[in-house]
Structure 1
């Protein structure tokens, strides 16, 4: 990785506190907004924060700070920044760090630590933050000298952005942030330039030959498209090759989901058309995806008769789970642009895939007068148009969003894909709405997930963030209940949420406009009210607790063994 030309951070020769140097470094990196919660060990940084240009968002739980920073990063492409104090403040960040690590989201977490002389003494709110977070960050620093802060912060942002993006952590003992130091030299910015990888001409030629000779090719893409800023190249390749395409959960939106030839999400809750195409293909062009178990089902039966071209920005992913016939590691956009996309005779295959997509298209004429969640979500995304951003929690509603909402870009679909973090949706909605104020940001949550970070309704109220919340309430932990119904002989253990509060009343107690929807006839008016309300609003949607997500690939089965309603 090469470095950009040094740029002057500041040329101060006067004494600066460690905390002031932290703020200087953040400002120099172009940080506009930070998410956090103050406490004793991080207090010097908060003291310096008031005189800065940084805008701080006070969340009501440190986990929410990390998840909001995560969404900010996904929308802007720049590292999200979160702040917490030592002890429980730092440990509360861990889930958010793990979430960012699994989904390759650039983030800089800054934690306070007890003063250096107290470290190792079991001091009040002392915890080994460095050790606890090692498995879920790209790199960590425990700062011992305030004079090192500028260089450490520059390096931290470089690590977060470069290669495979991810979270990093800087632990700041309180005496370090309180210390005054003189920085006599110009402080260099070491933000990494975008690496340039040479293209492998032989591998490109081999890939072109495989594409030209294939009769049933499928383009399979994932979250690496957004990470590599390769949406434009992917769309151009798709349009010139006209190869049927499928996406992972994280890949949704890299191709607009309503484009002809796009067959939908593959995998455990993928479309039948997508899974059938992959099962029957003779060439799988995998771009920015890692053959995740939720996408592949039983791996030995996944595209079992296909050759594989694997393109990824991270060479470690190639052939990790499925041996590639042609491997292309490096700049995903450059690789896609270099492929000719010239195919052989695939018109019959394209026609078969299109007919399957039409035959197995989702239906929205469910019986009854109650709200049918898939139809509601489809209507909301259609009404919001290209400004739509969904921040989604985890559970049945997460799969309904992936199946039924329209996404025009990958930044429009924010969800916890790798870790599956319940409670992600509401703080992520805060981060996304602040990152892109002109977007229509809708958090879709369930009655289980919303309670994980319900306190962030106070953050919405405090900053009047115009987030739209669709709370789908079946009074159940729906996905767990569905599995217990199908695979555990209907032994329903600890999934009944009969004692849920009235969520509309609860939102109004936080000062948030709210209303309840439980009749299908009222859906059009509810969608209009949801999207036209100027401030934050919560739509509490009551649905039939027996509704399940279909189709479904049973655990340990092939994607061809899909269960239907």
Structure 2
């Protein structure tokens, strides 16, 4: 006699068999069959306090591990909460699958509980979005979604799971189950001809720059960028910040970008982050090579730059990098240009080393203290989130394992990011730098961290202000027209301590380092609440 199986069992076991066992979720009516089906599998449900947090955690987990992140939420309002977080993952080229419960197919059009056009709602911020149509194909839906998320330009995919399909019983036959290959990404190689053409363009240039997009900024891909630098001898810069050429983490990059005579966009969109390669940010004679898995982005560059685009080739970014290395031969980049770029990117104003503030801790001092922690704890992960304070963090603190808010420019994901980073590597410390405005979005996820035993340290730069917007008001309208951006100087440390975590209040620079070490040593989710002076984010330029 053939055994029977529920649709929910197909979903849970398909994820388990694919090795996608960390599931960031929040319970709700439509997905309770999946929760039940998770029993007896290897799935680990990290259950959150908000659906957007579950998506942010899946996003960070994917960027740090290279696996496809999985978020599971209920339908209706649970789905709408989750969709808002997808734009951050989309802009970061982060592969994840959002599985949302859904009203039963038999009740659609009849006023079903929480009936919404969920797939259509998620479509603009995903690579693909659909509603499962049959219980028998649920496992195949999961495999297809993972494959799409990982292929080409990585990104989020959504599948809605009607509750009646999850509850349906059917015979457990081999055809229900996809094989391992069904989950694997489709690979689009660069090819020898295009690789040689790109290398020839770089050899012919005096000052070439390779700009890598967000997909190559994920932790598992950073070694490829190291390989490109070493094998080609050409400067390679990773771009994943919404500040673009003014990303203070890239130092005085804008100066050398303006001198480049060839830009190789390796999985890097031609967009606002490089000022659309318009003068004066980019030399009007600078030529472009675009290597990208998305034909629409190659077409965009061709439309924007015409004959200046000397090569556009369809290819996945990582295989393209490997192909360039394999066919390059001896390094050919100019050493003087390479050193000029390295010096510009490494530059930080020397006065930052001794800055002090009379109105709270200077943001540079706060971030230098975090940098010291990271130096003492190799392998630690760094999270940067927030408007102005996040930029100070990116400029002064660094770690190989890093997640920032990304090109979308959204804020507030820092606490979920930090939890996911600890789950990705439970043995390594996690330190997040956040603004007080950003911190408020998901403070209750400290409850998640406590329940799941995932300690991290969140350093809040507290200037009692939505400072990024306040700075816009100051620049654009004047000090007399600033309003609507003030917050309270809240004791966020006390909130975290009340939840059962560790809290530290810092009002003097001298107290920073000891407070950070106590927070790490506590072994708890911790908040170090630093009262800072509200200053604009740095824009790094060298004196002339």
Q: Shared fold (TM-score greater than 0.5)? A: yes
Q: Secondary structure at the match of 2:490?
A: coil
Question: In structure 1, what is the equivalent of residue 536 of structure 2?
Answer: 548
Deviations 1:209-264 (A, max 9, x none): 3333333333322323246965333212312444344331359xxxxxxxxxxxx9
Question: In structure 2, what is the equivalent of residue 23 of structure 1?
Answer: 12
Q: Which moved further from structure 2: 277-286 or 217-226?
A: 217-226
Shift of 1:115: 2.3
Does residue 287 in structure 1 map to residue 270 in structure 2?
no
Question: In structure 2, what is the equivalent of residue 494 of structure 1?
Answer: 484
Shift of 1:200: 4.1
Distance 1:319-1:488 versus aligned 2 partners, 3 A rule: farther
Does residue 373 in structure 1 map to residue 363 in structure 2?
yes
Which residue of 314, 317, 320 maps to 1:329?
314
Question: In structure 2, what is the equivalent of residue 211 of structure 1?
Answer: 202
Shift of 1:272: 5.5
Does residue 425 in structure 1 map to residue 422 in structure 2?
no
Q: Which moved further from structure 2: 46-55 or 198-207?
A: 198-207
**Structure 1: 5+ residue stretches without partners:** 1-11, 252-263, 553-561
Q: Secondary structure at the match of 1:452?
A: coil
Deviations 1:442-487 (A, max 9, x none): 1221110111111111112212311111111001101111111112
Distance 1:524-1:56 versus aligned 2 partners, 3 A rule: same
Distance 1:344-1:113 versus aligned 2 partners, 3 A rule: closer
Q: Secondary structure at the match of 1:290?
A: coil
Q: Which moved further from structure 2: 297-306 or 126-135?
A: 297-306
Q: How does 1:51-130 map to 2 (within 5 A)?
A: 51-130=40-119
Structure 2 Cα separation of the partners of residues 426 and 389 of structure 1: 13
Question: In structure 2, what is the equivalent of residue 389 of structure 1?
Answer: 381
Distance 1:541-1:219 versus aligned 2 partners, 3 A rule: same
Q: Which moved further from structure 2: 147-156 or 181-190?
A: 181-190
The 8 Å contact of residues 456 and 520 in structure 2, kept in 1 or not, is answered as no
Q: Which moved further from structure 2: 180-189 or 17-26?
A: 180-189
Structure 2 Cα separation of the partners of residues 107 and 227 of structure 1: 13
Shift of 1:350: 4.3
The 8 Å contact of residues 92 and 240 in structure 2, kept in 1 or not, is answered as no
Structure 2 Cα separation of the partners of residues 350 and 167 of structure 1: 36
Count, aligned residues: 527
Does residue 346 in structure 1 map to residue 331 in structure 2?
no
Shift of 1:271: 4.9
The 8 Å contact of residues 214 and 344 in structure 1, kept in 2 or not, is answered as no
Q: Secondary structure at the match of 2:420?
A: helix
Shift of 1:102: 2.2
The 8 Å contact of residues 219 and 245 in structure 1, kept in 2 or not, is answered as yes
Question: In structure 2, what is the equivalent of residue 246 of structure 1?
Answer: 237
The 8 Å contact of residues 249 and 402 in structure 1, kept in 2 or not, is answered as no
Distance 1:241-1:16 versus aligned 2 partners, 3 A rule: closer
**Structure 2: 5+ residue stretches without partners:** none
Deviations 1:47-81 (A, max 9, x none): 22233221111111111111111111111111111
Shift of 1:343: 6.8
Structure 1 Cα separation of the partners of residues 343 and 515 of structure 2: 34
Shift of 1:192: 4.7
TM-score by length of 1: 0.86
Question: In structure 2, what is the equivalent of residue 234 of structure 1?
Answer: 225
Does residue 223 in structure 1 map to residue 214 in structure 2?
yes
Which residue of 274, 288, 304 maps to 1:308?
288
The 8 Å contact of residues 132 and 138 in structure 2, kept in 1 or not, is answered as yes
The 8 Å contact of residues 473 and 541 in structure 1, kept in 2 or not, is answered as yes
Distance 1:245-1:379 versus aligned 2 partners, 3 A rule: farther
Distance 1:199-1:142 versus aligned 2 partners, 3 A rule: closer
Structure 2 Cα separation of the partners of residues 196 and 125 of structure 1: 38
Deviations 1:508-543 (A, max 9, x none): 111111011111122232232233332211100110
Shift of 1:119: 1.5
Structure 1 Cα separation of the partners of residues 321 and 232 of structure 2: 16
Question: In structure 2, what is the equivalent of residue 274 of structure 1?
Answer: 253
The 8 Å contact of residues 391 and 538 in structure 2, kept in 1 or not, is answered as no
Structure 2 Cα separation of the partners of residues 377 and 184 of structure 1: 57
Q: Secondary structure at the match of 1:443?
A: strand
Structure 2 Cα separation of the partners of residues 526 and 203 of structure 1: 54
Distance 1:451-1:158 versus aligned 2 partners, 3 A rule: same
Shift of 1:352: 4.4
Structure 2 Cα separation of the partners of residues 359 and 106 of structure 1: 33
The 8 Å contact of residues 249 and 396 in structure 2, kept in 1 or not, is answered as no
Which residue of 124, 129, 139 maps to 1:150?
139
Structure 2 Cα separation of the partners of residues 335 and 295 of structure 1: 25
